[in-house]
Amino acid sequence: MSRVLATVLLGMFRGERFGYARAAVIDGLHTSFLVRPVADDLKCVEKVEGLEEIPIRIEGIGAFLLDSVCVIDRAVISGYEIPYSTVLHVARVLSGSDEYEAYIGLDLVRYWRLYLDPSTNTVRSAVGRKVRWG
């Protein structure tokens, strides 16, 4: 059974463009993805030759169809910049809630070295750098 482990605001940079999404960290999800409107705003949707459409169902959340990819240059999560170029799948929402615009699975948990900081109950990245404002 999939469940939401945490909810975070995910900022994404692609060239000079910036976008953000309310993201759910999902237990048992292997592949991370964005919903199509967020990827469209970033102008990062790429069709990959030979990539088949992949249906994904997240119990209690909805059904999605992964049909393309989006490459982002870097991300910000919980005030930490993750300086890695990252490929995310892009999905069409087939049914369900519009509560989240991105879904973080085990691939990004490992790649971004995400963990739950017990002192703040916040998702952090072991490879992230604290964003300095001002």
* pLDDT range class, residue 17, cuts 50, 70, 90: very high
Q: Domain containing 103 — which CATH number?
A: 2.40.70.10
**Among the ranges given (25-29, 30-34, 96-100), the one the predictor scored with the smallest mean pLDDT:** 96-100
pTM above 0.75, yes or no: yes
Residue 15 has pLDDT above 90, yes or no: yes
pLDDT at 16: 94
**For residues 41 and 115, what is the distance between their CA atoms, to the nearest angstrom?**
28
**For residues 18 and 16, what is the distance between their CA atoms, to the nearest angstrom?**
7
Q: Mind listing the pLDDT tens digit for each residue in 44-89?
A: 999 988 888 999 999 999 999 999 999 999 999 999 999 999 999 9
**For residues 94 and 101, what is the distance between their CA atoms, to the nearest angstrom?**
13
pLDDT at 1: 56
**For residues 125 and 128, what is the distance between their CA atoms, to the nearest angstrom?**
5
Domain count, the chain: 1
- Domain, as residue range, for 37: 3-130
**For residues 61 and 93, what is the distance between their CA atoms, to the nearest angstrom?**
11
